[in-house]
Amino acid sequence: MLQLKAQDGTCDPDGEPYAPIPVDAVLGNPQVLLRQVGNANPVMSRGPDGADLHGLGGGFYLDFPGDALTPGCLYEQDGRRFTTGLEPTVYAHVIEDVGDGQLVLQYWFYWYYNDWNNKHESDWEGIALLFDVPTAEAALATDPVQVGYSQHEGGEAADWDAAKLDREGDHPVVYSSVGSHASYFGAALYLGRGASEGFGCDNTDGPHRRVAPDVVLLPDAASGAADPFAWLEFEGRWGERQSGPFNGPTGPTLKERWHDPLPWFEQLRDSSVVVPGGDRTGDGVVRTFCAVVEGGSGLLLSFTASPTTTLLGLAAVAVPVLYALSRTRWDRVAPLPVRSRRRFGQIVRAAIELYRRHPLTFALVGGLRPRGRWRRWPPRWSVRCRCSARCSTLPAGRVAPRWCSPCRPVRSPTWSPTSSSTPWWPN
């Protein structure tokens, strides 16, 4: 059972437009091309099906309509068109008698497009259930002992009876992150700090739309080109060929856990880093981090799509900044007294020296915060305006002097330090 963040409307980037789909949406589709890596990446066939993909190696890839690095709304629109009449679907794969007489049930999710920091066509994600019995027949009579959710290059695990695992009867509930489709155990904003967690932020917050997908059982391998699952033997890429993280992904059978799932379970984390909704300071810092990572990803996308234009743009920004820095003075000055006339470069050097001399003091000051919630203090002039009385007692016909105009806002009798906004009382 999946919970996907609902969109407010078509092409809303804050919601999830896709759902796990059958590969039939792209196989046999005349708008999808099969290309071979080489000079100009020639088209080998249009609308390839499973038989066309069977046995092809890593030198081939599928190419969807559009540019994966600048998707706009095209992929969402095509995804809707290509899945007309198709139900959301996940693929099941059973590995019996692994390790010390255990069984692993994998669910693989195929998504049409990955619209996250590492944008690319197609996306294979999934979860897995671990049983302490060796056969499928025995597994039907017992509960799993552990569940693993795939997240980027790593994942997170939970015991079947863990409080963090939501279930609808015997069905585990998966909260899929917007764009990246990483699978989580709850609705929250998650912080990724590296490859195993993803570098950036994953959002599974609501409101949600519930998806109950059909399940299709996969064999360990296809028997031949005529097999309905011949696409399992495709070793190429399921999306447009790009550099680095923007390349289309490979299929499930090329993942190590397809054949040997237990090592994958062993490297799963026990938890993920959640941004606490009630901590406004922490929330602000993390959201700034999320925005910076997203901005850096956007810059990398621009450079990958158009290196020359991106470099020219960066140069246009860097030249005036470097010129301004060269116009200041960077010679060493005494950091004390703090209040002293200095040029910008001297201020920077004095500040660094001051921090170097008193690191513990500044660390302690930085760690201080008021008890309870952060309070919103009004500007000093709004607490009491010294000239307000004189402004309000001017003789008839006299115009208030200019120095009175900034004093018109005065303190409200109902104002309190925890008010949501600073009051404004005009004279």
Distance CA 264, CA 244 (A): 23
Residue 125 half-sphere exposure toward CB, CA atoms < 13 A: 28
Q: What is d(CA 244, CA 254) in angstroms, rounded to the nearest whole number? A: 18
Q: What is the pLDDT of residues 310-351, one digit of tens each?
A: 677 777 777 887 877 788 888 888 888 888 888 888 888 888
Which amino acid would we find at residue 239? Answer: G
End-to-end distance of the chain based on CA atoms, in angstroms? 60
The residue to which tokens 């910008």 are assigned: 344
Question: Distance (Å, rounded) from C-alpha 198 to C-alpha 191?
Answer: 8
For 211-266, the pLDDT digits (tens) are: 999 999 999 999 999 999 999 999 999 999 998 889 999 999 999 999 999 999 99
Nearest residue to 16 (alpha-carbon basis) of 151, 115, 145: 115
Cis preceding linkage at 207, omega within 30? yes
CB atoms within 10 A of CB 302: 16
pTM: 0.71
Encoding tokens for residue 116?
């996250």
Which residues are within 8 A (CB) of 201 and not within 5 positions of it... i.e. 6 or more apart?
A: 189, 190, 191, 192, 275, 286, 287, 289, 290, 293, 294
The rounded distance, in Å, linking the Cα atoms of 19 and 76 is 11
Quick check: bond before 48 cis, omega within 30?
Answer: no
Least confident of 52-66, 87-101, 212-226, 294-308: 294-308
Average pLDDT, whole number, for the chain? 83
Please give the DSSP secondary-structure letter assigned to residue 237.
B
